[in-house]
Amino acid sequence: MVQGQNSDCLKIRLSKPYLSDKQSLTIMIKDILNRGFLVQGNYVTKFEKQLSGYLGVKHAIAVSSGTAALHIALMALGIGRGDEVIVPAYTFPSTANVVELVGGKPIFVDVDLDTYNIQVDQIQKALSPRTKAIIPVHLFGNPSNMDQIIKIANVHGLTVIEDAAGALGSTYKGKKCGTLGTMGCLSFHPRKVITTGEGGMIVTSDDSLVKIVRRLRNHGMKATASNIDIVTPGFNYRLSEIQAAIGLCQAKDLQNRIRERQKLAECYKNLLEYNPKISLQKVHVNTTVSWQAFVVRVIGKKNSSIIKRLKEKGIEATIGTYALHVLNYYQRKYHFQPSDYPNAARLYTECLALPFYNGMTIEMIEEVVKALKEIINGN
């Protein structure tokens, strides 16, 4: 690949949004434009009902991003200055950033090298009298060990907020991820199972939290008998009607989309599982994975060089996600060393997200695997 070519010249992209019913979407968008009501209207309500029904949860509240969902969830639960929240050390930064934004302190716990999820047996050691919540992340759609996490939370009077940003449709012992804790947070970023461009959702069956969440996403407003009042400082974290329409079109065939992703993941596994240089993400029994991304660990190899070589072959790839303790802000503030959370640091440099999206073909996966094997074998 010639240096300077942009992503449009790539043969195989990392991810592409998949809109299967563009005709219905066009009709919805025309209806929205004719109504002239572009924010927080009927289509947002329909989208919320569609997903709450699919997840089997009482309430779903659409917001502007997965980060907004996590931020509001913490605020709705009253978590703030001086409070500590348990967070896996290997995850997207927003999981910890929102704790900082409410004035709290994220307490990192290392992750398992096989599942990439939080090491449950290390959570107990990280607790203190200031701990208020645990945010387990179902990384790349792979469910965390929720039984043990909830058990620890119940013993110590903690709240569990599931970061299910990439786990829409994944299940843990028959229950949908995002519905196992007090609150669950979803993302509809373009690399997720369904996308609204940017968008997110909070799900909960706790009636007492719903009014607080809805107010926080809309400037802290509350309708009174004669007017609109501000009862708490809030945000503009609303989802637009057009975004909701985009999400609705994909949510209608959500289970089919997930089944397709599972087949693609199985294809990758079959082609890679016996390679001694590659470690695949381990999935526990009694779980199903919707596969937001397909991430592998190339043992002993720097992912940066592999990403560069794949790009030269016309294939887009990226890192899995981030070791939070080596990022500039957290390293400086809390004086971390890479060795403080060694598994997270190792996954950060060795994990590789391969092209993965609805609409990929088996031939494309075979081409990716062929290129990857050539690179790690020194060809």
Distance CA 372, CA 379 (A): 10
What is each CA distance from 213 to 103, 221, 247, 277, 359, in whole angstroms?
18, 11, 21, 46, 35
Nearest Cα to Cα of residue 333 among 110, 139, 99: 99
Q: Return the half-sphere exposure (C-beta side, CA atoms, 13 A cut-off) of residue 86.
A: 32
DSSP 8-state symbol, 118: B
3-class SS string, 188-256: CCCCCCCCCCCCEEEEECCHHHHHHHHHHHECCEEECCCCEEECCCCCECCCEHHHHHHHHHHHCCHHH
Taking the C-alpha atoms of residue 374 and residue 164, their distance in angstroms, rounded to an integer, is 34
Please name the residue that has the structure tokens 């190792």. 346
The total number of residues shown for the chain amounts to 379
Whole-angstrom distance, CA of residue 112 vs CA of residue 46: 38
Please state, in angstroms and rounded to a whole number, the distance separating the CA atoms of residues 10 and 7: 5
241, 41 contact by CB (below 8 A): yes
**Any idea which residues carry the catalytic annotation?**
192
